[in-house]
Amino acid sequence: MAPSITAARMANNHNDNMIRDGVFLPMVAKNAPILLVEDDEVDVMMVQRAFKKHAIANPLHVAESGDQALAMLRGEGYTRVAPILILFDLNMPRMDGISFLKELRADPELQGLPAVALTSSDQPRDRATAFQHHVAGFFVKPVAYEELVELFGVIGRYWQLSKRA
Angle, to 10 degrees, between the axis of helix 41-53 and the axis of helix 145-164? 60
By C-alpha distance, which of 107, 148, 156, 98 is closest to 128? 98
The 10s digit of each residue's pLDDT in 82-139 is 998 999 999 888 899 999 999 999 999 999 999 999 888 889 999 999 999 999 989 9
Q: Is 77 a residue whose pLDDT tops 90?
A: yes
How high is the pLDDT of residue 39? 93
The fold adopted by the segment(s) 4-164 is: Rossmann fold (3.40.50)
How high is the pLDDT of residue 162? 53
pTM: 0.77
The kind and range of the H/E element at 52 are helix 41-53
Q: What are the residue boundaries of the structural domains of the chain, listed by start? A: 4-164
